[in-house]
Amino acid sequence: MRRATANAAATADALLAWLGTQARSGAAVAPSESDGHSEGTASAYDSAGGDGVADALTHDVPVTASAAGASTIATRPTERTEAECRAASMRLAHTDWLHHRLAIIGMAEQLAAFRRAAAGAGVIPWQLDLDRTEEDVFHLLAAPSTQPRTLSVAGARVLAGQLREAVGRRHERAVARVGTSQACPLDLHALVPVPDEMLRHGPDDPVALAWLWEHWGTTQPLRHVAEDVVANQEARRGSMLAAEQDAIHVTFWSADWTPWRALEAVAKHWQGLRFDARPTYGGS
């Protein structure tokens, strides 16, 4: 039974990889984690601390995001609506992951309070329509194609069902971490929460993307979020901090844009702290 379950999950993962290579026509499909600088299996859980949470969940977000995007492939018309056109401009077809360094400086007591508030699971708990995902993936697999295929209609149904089950299990594990895990030291959803009404739209809905752009300045959770302990120590040893001040240095990758709107909102709320975000083009 365990082998059958593992084979189903492996088949679903292979199917997701194949879906990512298909033509996107007019649909705004969520990019997989293999795009950009995400190191293949990287996810929003890839945070510092080595507590094992990130390693245990590195495959969760890729499946969730890709499947949610796949739900738009088969049924969307070629002609985009105005809202979809606006959403497409907020997120590139192939995500450009930008590396950043963020320094947060302030009084030690307030900085400690911010550290507690900013820690979270590093994931957006979207509500996924798994029934639609399964049906749309089935239609994509079973649709007529100019390329030779050996997959039967019955096989397409089986694969779509396996994908649905794998996505559902992994999405449940990911969402269960929200509110309990503190693996991510800079969780935008913890600092600027996505409202429930937006979560119901799902990650590829133009309304949800517009909200993320307006309030975060980026349309996906941050990835590879890690506290730079060495930079923290160097700041304390150097002369860059005033008396009773401390600093937190964080590195992360953001999708397409610097999360400037989220940082702007956070800075207004934490007025005693100074936020200095700098993209580091070319990596680390």
β-bridge pairing 245-255 and 97-107? antiparallel
52 band by pLDDT with thresholds 50, 70 and 90: very low
The answer for residues whose C-beta is within 8 angstroms of residue 205's C-beta and 6 or more apart is 87
pLDDT (average), residues 37-41: 31
Extents of the domains making up the chain: 2-279
192 band by pLDDT with thresholds 50, 70 and 90: very high
Closest CA to 27 of 171, 205, 183: 205
Strongest mean pLDDT among 116-120, 138-142, 162-166, 226-230 = 116-120
> 182: buried, middle or exposed (CB in 10 Å: 19+, 13-18, 0-12)?
buried
Please say if the pLDDT value at position 65 is more than 50: no
What's the sign of the alpha-carbon dihedral 60, 94, 228, 269? negative
Please say if the pLDDT value at position 76 is more than 90: no
pLDDT (average), residues 128-153: 80
pLDDT of the residue at 145: 72
Edge-to-edge strand order for the sheet containing 97-107?
223-227, 245-255, 97-107, 274-279
Of the ranges 73-82, 137-146, 253-262, which one carries the lowest mean pLDDT score? 73-82
Six token digits for residue 190? 């913890």
Please say if the pLDDT value at position 163 is more than 50: yes
- Mean per-residue pLDDT of the chain: 73
Closest CA to 76 of 117, 34, 12, 132: 132
pLDDT (average), residues 244-264: 93
Length of the chain (residues): 284
The answer for residues whose C-beta is within 8 angstroms of residue 194's C-beta and 6 or more apart is 124, 208, 211, 212
Distance of alpha carbon 232 from its chain centroid, rounded? 26
Distance CA 74, CA 76 (A): 6
Tell me if 71 sits within 8 A of 147, measured CB to CB: no
Closest CA to 179 of 113, 119, 225: 119
pLDDT of the residue at 28: 33
Distance CA 48, CA 57 (A): 14
Tell me if 111 sits within 8 A of 246, measured CB to CB: yes
